[in-house]
Chains A and B, each alone.
Chain A
Amino acid sequence: MAWDKVTGQAKFAYDIQVSGMLHARVLRSPHANAKILDIDISAAERLPGVRAILTYKNAGKQRWDRQRAVFRDYVRLVGDEVAAVVADTELIAGDALQLIKVKYEALPHVIDLEEALRPDAPKVQPYGNIWQDKPSIYERGDIQKGFNEAEVVIEHTYTTSEQHHACLEMHGCVANWANDQLTVWDSTQGVHLARDLLALTLNLPISKVRVINRHTGGGFGSKNGIKQYHVIAAMLSRETGRPVRLFLNRSEVFMVTSHPTHRPRTRQKIKAGFKNGGTLTAIDYEEYGRGGAWNEGNMRWASRAGDSIKELYKCPNVRSTNYAVHTNLSSPGACRGPGNTETLFALEQFFDEAAVRFNMDPIELRLKNFAEIHPLTSQPYFSNGLKESYEKGSNAFGWKRQKPGSVKDGTKRRGIGMGTVHWHGTSGEPSQALVTVYPEGTVEVNAGIADIGVGAPVILAQIAAEELQVPFDKVRVAYGDSAGTPYTINSSYGSRTTSLAGPAVRMAAADAKQQLIQIAAEVLKVSPADVRLKDGVFITKSDPAKQASFKEVTGRMGWRKRRHLVIGKGKQVDIFGAHFVEVEVDTATGSVRVLRAVLAHDSGRPINALTYESQVQGGFLMGLGMALFEERIIDAETGVQVNADYHGYCCPTALDVPDQVTVIPIETHDLSTNINAKGVGEPPTAGAGGAIANAIYNAIGVRIRDYPITPSKVLQALKAAG
Chain B
Amino acid sequence: MKLSEVMKKDHIVFKKSVKNYEAAIYESGKVLIDKNIIERKYLDKVIDNVKSIGPYIVIAPMIALSHARPEDGAKALGMSLLMLEEPVNFSKEKDRYARAIITLAASNENEHLEALSQMSKMLMENMEAFLGAKDRETILKLIENYS
Chain B binds chain A: no
A-side interface residues toward B, CB under 8 Å? none
B-side interface residues toward A, CB under 8 Å? none
